[in-house]
Amino acid sequence: MGETNNRLIWFERAEHIAAERAIAEFRSGRPVIVTGTHGAIVALPVDGLTPGRLVSFRALCAPAQPQLVITAPRARAIGIEAARPVGLAIGENDGSAAILALVAEPRVERTPAILAAPPTAAAAIALAKLARYLPALLVADGAAIAAAASQPPLVTVSADAVAEFRQQAVASLAVAAEASVPLDGGLPARFVIFRDAIGGTSVAAIVGAPDFSRPVPVRLHSACLTGDAFGSRRCDCGDQLRLALRRLDRDGGIILYLEQEGRGLGLANKMRAYQLQDAGLDTLDANTALGFDDDERDYGVAARMLQMLGCREVLLLTNNPAKLDGLSRAGIEVSGRIGLQVPSNPDNRRYLAAKAARAGHQLDPVVAVAADGEPIGGETA
C-alpha cells in the first residue's frame, strides 16, 4: 500500500485514533483542540470541572476569556430560545460550581450574556456525549493555542473525525469471549461478549436454541444498574428483563444487553436526571434539561451484533415503537412485536404515564394512568 492521506497508522486510520484519544482526554478532564472548516477551538468539558482545572484552562486561553457552550435543549430549559448550540459569557469571578450550575441545575438565578457559539463547538459537544459527559464545554479560539501549546501537546481532532466515529466504533465491534451460562430454572444460555475499539462492551444472551431460519424473538435491553441489579422501583427495566427471559423459556431467543444506561446518557448523567425528576420534571424533560435529546440511543450496535450472530429477522419484545424503527433503519428486518406489560407501582406510575403519553410506548391503559403526587422516576426501557 502506497503513502496516502488515508494510510494506516498502526492498525487504524489516523482520524479514528485522534477521536479515540480525544474521548480519553475529555474523560481525564483535559482540553482538546477541535478543528473544522470554520476554524479551530480548544474545548474543555464542564463535567468534572474543578477550580484548579478552570484556572489552568483560563491561563491556557489567555488573554482571551473562554465562553460556555450549551446545547439548544439546555438553552431552552433555562429560558433561551435556540435551535443550535448557544454561547454564554462567563466572568473572571465565575467559579467551577457556578459554571456547573448553569449546565445542570433545574433553575438558574441569572442568565449570562448570550454569545454566538463557534460552529465547531457542535463537534466538541458530540465528543462530550461520546465520553458520556454532560454536553457543555468551555471553549476558546484554538488557532493560537494549537501553535503555542507544545508542552505537553494537546490532542487535536477534526470535526469530520468526530462525526464519523460512531459508525467506525460500530464497524470495529468484535467478539471478545463467549461461554455457556445456565440460568435460573435450568434455562440454558450462551453469553457472547462484544467489544468495540474503545472498550465499550455489550452482551448477547442467546437463550435456549432459537431457530435462526425463522424470525427470532429478541429483546433490546438498555443496561439499567438500578433496576436490573438492585430492583429499583423508579422504573420497569428489571421487571421487563425478567419477563423477557420467561417469554424466551419455550422457543428460545436473544437478549441484547446494551451499554445504553439512562437512554444513552450514562450512569452518572442518569443520576443527575433523577435529581431533576425529584425536583418535578418528568423522565423526558429531565434529559433535555441536562442538554441531551430525550433519547440519545441508536441501534447500530444492536444491528451489528445480530448480523454477526447470523440473525437477520426478529420478533421484537418491546413496548417502544422507536426500537422497531431504529433496528429497521439499521438493516434488521422486524417482522412483529411482542409487548412486555409489567405491574406498575406508586413509585413509577407517573414515569410510565410519561412514556405512554409523550414517547408513544404501547402500555396497558391501566398501567399508564398517572397517580397525582407520586414521584417520577426511571429511564425508558
Give catalytic residues, as residue numbers. Answer: 295, 297
What residues have CB less than 8 Å from 21, skipping those under 6 apart?
155, 157
Q: Give the H/E segment covering residue 381.
A: none
324 within 8 A of 334, measured Cβ to Cβ: yes
Pairing of strands 67-70, 86-89: antiparallel
Are 257 and 221 in contact by the 8 Å Cβ rule? The answer is yes
Cβ atoms within 10 Å, residue 67: 24
Q: Report which of 360, 305, 297 is spatially closest to residue 332, judged by C-alpha positions.
A: 305
Q: Which cell numbers hold the place of 140?
A: 476558546
Beta-carbon neighbour count of residue 205 at 10 Å? 20
Cell numbers describing residue 243: 419477563
Cell of 313: 429477522
Separation between Cα atoms, residue 287 and residue 358, nearest integer Å: 13
Query: φ and ψ at 258, to 5 degrees?
Result: -100, 145
Distance CA 232, CA 230 (A): 6
Of residues 201, 136, 154, the one with CA closest to residue 24: 154
DSSP secondary structure letter of residue 228:
I
Residue in the block written with cell 439499567: 224
d(CA 183, CA 246): 11
Cβ neighbours of residue 147 closer than 8 Å, sequence gap 6 or more: none
